[in-house]
Every structure is written in C-alpha cells, then in structure tokens.
Structure 1
C-alpha cells in the first residue's frame, strides 16, 4: 500500500487467501464469510484460526477433521503474507443451520 493512502482516503480493503488441502477455496467461501479470526499465541501455545461461515441455504460442504487449512492475509491488489497452516480439529453448528464455525 502506498504511503499516505490512508490520509488521502485511498486505503485498500483487507483480503485473504485460504487453501484447503492445497486447493484454493477463497472464492468458494468469501461470499459466505461472517468472520475470520487469527489468534497468534505467545510461546509454545498453538495459534488458532476460527472461520465463521453463513450456511443459511444448507449447501456448505464442511471439511473433515484433520485436513489442513493455510491462510494468507493482505490487501486487495497487493501481495499476500502467509500466516500459517492449521489443522481442522473442531466444527460447530449454531443457530438454525445458518452458521458454521471451524
């Protein structure tokens, strides 16, 4: 991002890239994304990636436990920065099948 772009009101929007077992799934889930939270823990405690998706239509395919998700963060139109690879170990459903968290 160019220096001063925030001052000039030309800030880019945040963006992410998510791969599931090596396949880019960003476009498949970005319209369903409710929240994406990366917790970078100190020391030897494992970092955590929480993704909350809208499944109001019941069409969302959930990954199986043990599969790896890789996350990269950045700004639209710019390079992404790898933030790690995470193993799916928990999948939750809440509401009337409208939200799924993994």
Structure 2
C-alpha cells in the first residue's frame, strides 16, 4: 500500500464506534497512490460489527479509483457487511464504485 493513498475514515455529526472492524487489505496485488478510498458517515452513527472492508485479492486497485462507502442522514447499522472487493480481476482507474448504505461487490 503505497504513499499518497489518502485512506480516510470520517464521521460528521455521528459516531464511529469500537469493533467496526474496518480493514484496507491487499493480498497478492497493488493498492497504488491516489486511490482516495473513503468510508464516510454524515448525520448518523456507523455502529459496531459493520465489518467494512476494501480488499484486493490477486488483482490491482489502481490510482484514481475513488472507492467510497457513504451514509447520509441515517445509520449504517451492525451486520451490514459492506464490501468493495476485487477477486482475480482489476478495478481500473476512474471507476468510482459507490453504494449508499447497502452491500455490494465489484467482480
């Protein structure tokens, strides 16, 4: 995970509680500079047990992807299991993968 990735966990007017298990992981791949990965909560809590993960397995998450998990005006509750995942593939620059308050996967 190289310099300049700009990984951010941000809470505005809410709570990021213990036990969320937030992870940025690269296995046999590259997380390059400029990715600007962000998990953001506005106006609500991100509660324990969410298990939010950005993972690359045997692939590449390239610069400029700007992957975001965002909750606006509501809680992101425990057990949501929100994940941005690349398995044996490539998430190329400029893709902008986004989902509000739901689970999804990029293959």
Q: Which bin holds the TM-score, normalised by the shorter protein?
A: under 0.3
More strand by share: 1
| TM-score, length-scaled by structure 2 | 0.21
